[in-house]
Amino acid sequence: MVDLLPQTNKDVDNPKRYEGLAWFLNELALAWIHDRVPRDVQPLPDIWRVFFCAALAYLFRALCITVIQVPVPSVNTYCAPQGDGSFFSLMGRVKKIFWSAGIEQLRPRELCGDLIVSGHTLTLMTTILTFKQYAPKRFNYFGYFYNVLAVVALISIMLARKHYSIDIIFGYFVATRIFWTYHSLANSFHQGELDRNPLSQSWWSFIVKYFESDAPPPHLFLNVLEWPSSCPSKLRWHLSM
* Cβ-based neighbours of 205, under 8 Å, separated by 6 or more: 185, 194, 199
Q: What is the 3-state secondary structure (H, E, C) of the chain?
A: CHHHCCCCHHHHHHHHHCHHHHHHHHHHHHHHHHHHCCCCCCCCHHHHHHHHHHHHHHHHHHHHHHHCCCCCCCCCCCCCCCCCCCHHHHHHHHHHHHHCCCCHHHCCCCCCCCCCCCHHHHHHHHHHHHHHHHCCHHHHHHHHHHHHHHHHHHHHHHHCCCCCHHHHHHHHHHHHHHHHHHHHHHHHHHCCCHHHCHHHHCCCCHHHHHHHCCCCCHHHCCCCCCCCCCCCHHHHHHHHC
Candidate list 3, 120, 195, 238, residue with the active-site label: 120
Q: Is 195 a catalytic residue?
A: no
The answer to whether residue 120 is catalytic is yes
- Calculate Rg over the CA atoms of the chain: 22
Under a CB-based contact definition with an 8 Å cutoff, are residues 122 and 174 in contact?
Answer: yes
Residue 114 annotated among the catalytic residues of the structure: no
11, 35, 40, 167: which one is catalytic? 167
| Catalytic residue of the set 11, 34, 46, 163 | 163
**Active-site residue numbers?**
120, 163, 167
